[in-house]
Amino acid sequence: MIRDPNYELTWKIRRSFKLLAALADTYLTSYGLVAGERAVMEFIDSWGEKSVPDLARSFHVSRQNIQVRVNGLVRKGLLEKRANPAHKRSVLIALSETGRDVFAAIKIEEESHIHDLFDGLSTEDVATASRTLSQLMDRIDDRLNAHTAQPSGETS
């Protein structure tokens, strides 16, 4: 069966995402984490402390989905809650000192996995794939933001 090339690429991206998450789950077990928790830690490490609603918007998931992950990471001592000067009832979520140390160790371990995965691929092919995925992510993000900005009952 011949598939539309755009559909084929979309399928491969989805499949790659699932495979990368499964691979991450294999080495994250030693840290007591799963890929979704690691993603929250990475976001906070990269972008700084955020509220749960801000995290949910960034991941395009429900607040409840992120709250479950945050609560688990707080219980594990990897995230901490801080006062939010902009909102009395919505705390900011930040990496704890332990969380920063654990995430630094994860990144070091991941470097080896990533190096192995990309071994043998040309620098040019990786750069082209990266540019293409960046453009696609921007388009998806724009579409999601346009959809969520519409009043209830309207669809695109």
Distance, CA of 92 to CA of 133 (rounded, Å):
30
> Quick one: pLDDT at residue 155?
46
Angle between helices 5-28 and 35-47 (to 10 degrees): 90
Distance, CA of 61 to CA of 22 (rounded, Å):
20
Distance, CA of 146 to CA of 156 (rounded, Å):
8
> Quick one: pLDDT at residue 152?
53
> Quick one: pLDDT at residue 156?
43
User: What domains sit in the chain, N to C, each tagged with a CATH number?
Assistant: 5-106 (1.10.10.10)
The pair of structure tokens assigned to 102 is 């654990």
Q: What are phi and psi of 130, to 5 degrees?
A: -65, -45
Distance, CA of 73 to CA of 99 (rounded, Å):
9
3-state SS, residue 147: helix
> Quick one: pLDDT at residue 153?
52
Each residue's pLDDT expressed in tens, for the chain with a length of 156 residues: 678 999 999 999 999 999 999 999 999 999 999 999 999 999 999 999 999 999 999 998 999 999 999 999 999 999 999 999 988 888 999 999 999 999 999 999 999 999 999 999 999 999 999 999 999 999 998 998 887 776 655 444
